[in-house]
Chains A and B, each alone.
Chain A
Amino acid sequence: MPARHESFGKDTGLQARMALTLFLLGLVYVVFVGVLIAAGAAAVTVVVVALVLLLVQLFSSDKVALATMGVKEVSPAEEPELHGVIERLCVQANLPKPRVCVMETQMPNAFAMGRSRKSTTVCATRALLDLLSPAELEGVMGHELTHVINRDVMVMTLASFFATLAALIAQFALFFGGGFGGGYGRNNEEEEGIMLVLLVSVIVYAISFLLLRALSRYREFAADRGSAVLTGRPSALASALLKLSGTMERVPSQDLRKAEGMSAFFIIPARTKKSLMNIFADHPPLEQRLAALERLESQLQGTA
């Protein structure tokens, strides 16, 4: 029997784009930190505040989100099929079993939360379970588990640290008229320094916002790909995405608005309005995701 190499080729393009985005983010941040240090020691306070915020976000965001979304943990006896699908995927992905939750809503969607493999929650909505076949459900859950394997919550939170910091500084500077420069005997030089920090913060925020959105889209592609590799069925995920996006358009907008803040975590974005431009979107357009999955299926069939 001839030894095969791999069912799926490497996606070097995607990795290169992701590396470039991370590099650019890092570059923006290095410049930002440089300006902060040059501006003076008072900025250190802001950095400490932001660090604390980051830690709080990292350790509690999943719990807060789960609590506000009305998510309920389900036992294997309540949801045998969902548990069965996830258990087999966990064997295949060599993961410990996550907490399994269901959200009672008419919006078909799924998300995964948690900062590490050990403390993970995967959640499917009731409409998703009703809508998808077991193979399609497996594709969607594979996508969510790949987010866990890739530690996407952690990566995105850390990557957005300086963007949060920049936003904080800009607000501080605006509300207190640059008060964080401190002291009574302020002179023109200090005024200029504060204006410079404010300006740089705004620029850092704007650039890192776009870069973070790009990073989020690349991580979605990586999760689609990871799911296809994990399950060996790229077309099942493609079929699930088609079904989901078709149904999302008919979902009452009340349900959508409730879930909009969580959009970045979902497999399909929950949004009442379409984004004007792709560069502001946290998910790649459906056509591009389907095309990527189609390429994987051709690689699998050996026709690419």
Chain B
Amino acid sequence: MGLRDILTGRHSVQGPAPDRLFAITTAYVTLASEHQIESRGSAAIVFQALATSEFETTLRETEEVVSATGGESGTKVSSQNDSYGYRWMVLKNPEASGSVEDLAVGINAVSGSIETAGYGERLLCAVFAFAAKDEKIYFIYNYKRGYWYPFVPAAGEQQQSTERELQIKAQMASELPMEPEVERWFPLWGIPI
């Protein structure tokens, strides 16, 4: 943001950063083999749903396309609103193992068609669901930044295990492009997967 923008109080919402979404398709192998963190076979993408008929049409078409192409791997698509008024599109794969590639392709198809329609600045995050035994672990991809970070919810309302997240960062830093500023590891509450 330049001096001129500051003086005139003008700013525009940033669009997506260069895409590093597919880093997860190689990282999940290490996660499973070395750290016993397994995919739960689902992923989701969260964005601001504009209340316009044009945007809803885009979403409907996207959902149809992803359902059609995901048919071979059995990926199911659904969408829902959360309590903050954001829209989630959820992709679920019946077989948990080896599905991360399919999920990443599906998520990329959703973000791709939202971007092509000119709504790229509405994309927030993509979330991939993992677990180590009973512990839920999420890997969140921030579209504005093009970085990943782990999110481990803990027992209690809006509690997270920062210690576990930092451990995972240390384990995976060489494989996933991690968000360098830890204060930008925003927890996402109300993840539907």
Contact = CB atoms under 8 A, between A and B. Distances in A.
A3 B113 CA distance: 10
23 contacts: A1-B116, A1-B117, A3-B116, A4-B119, A5-B118, A6-B118, A7-B50, A15-B9, A15-B10, A18-B8, A80-B158, A80-B189, A83-B158, A84-B84, A84-B158, A88-B86, A88-B124, A91-B142, A97-B183, A135-B85, A138-B85, A229-B12, A300-B50
Given A77-B156, A300-B52, A232 B122 contact: yes
B51 interface: yes
B61 interface: yes
Nearest to B61: A1
Contacts of B186: 87-88, 90-91, 97
B13 A1 contact: no
Interface of A (DSSP majority class): helix
Interface in A74-103: 76-77, 80, 83-85, 87-88, 90-94, 96-97
B7 A155 contact: yes
Contacts of A94: 14, 144-145
Contact of B10 (A80, A222, A233): A222
Contacts, number: 111
Interface of B: 1, 6-14, 48, 50-52, 54, 58, 61, 83-86, 113, 116-119, 122, 124-125, 142, 144-145, 156-159, 181, 183-184, 186-190
Nearest to B62: A1
Contacts of B118: 3-7
Interface of A: 1, 3-7, 15, 18-19, 22, 76-77, 80, 83-85, 87-88, 90-94, 96-97, 134-135, 138, 146, 149-152, 155, 218-219, 222-223, 226, 229-233, 300-302
Contacts of A222: 8-10
A1 B158 CA distance: 40
Which 4 interchain pairs have the tightest Cβ spacing? Answer: A4-B118, A222-B9, A150-B9, A15-B8
B48 A96 contact: no
Contacts of B189: 80, 84
Nearest to A87: B186
Contacts of A232: 48, 50, 122
Task: From B9, B10, B61, B188, name the one whose CB has the most chain A CB atoms within 10 angstroms.
Answer: B9
A231 B48 CA distance: 7
A225 B144 CA distance: 20
A233 B52 contact: no
A138 B8 CA distance: 24
A4 B11 contact: no
Contact of B8 (A4, A5, A19, A88): A19
B87 to A, nearest CB: 11
Contact of A301 (B52, B84, B86, B113): B52
A83 B189 CA distance: 10
B54 A138 contact: no
Given A18-B7, A22-B7, A92 B85 contact: no
Nearest to B1: A149
Contacts of A80: 157-158, 189
Given A87-B187, A91-B142, A19 B7 contact: yes
Given A3-B118, A80-B158, A88 B84 contact: yes
Given A1-B113, A84-B84, A84-B189, A96 B181 contact: yes
A5 B86 CA distance: 22
Given A80-B158, A91-B124, A302-B54, 15 more contacts: A4-B117, A18-B9, A76-B187, A77-B157, A87-B187, A88-B188, A92-B144, A96-B183, A97-B184, A134-B83, A135-B85, A150-B9, A152-B9, A229-B13, A231-B48
Given A3-B116, A92-B48, A155-B7, A134 B85 contact: yes
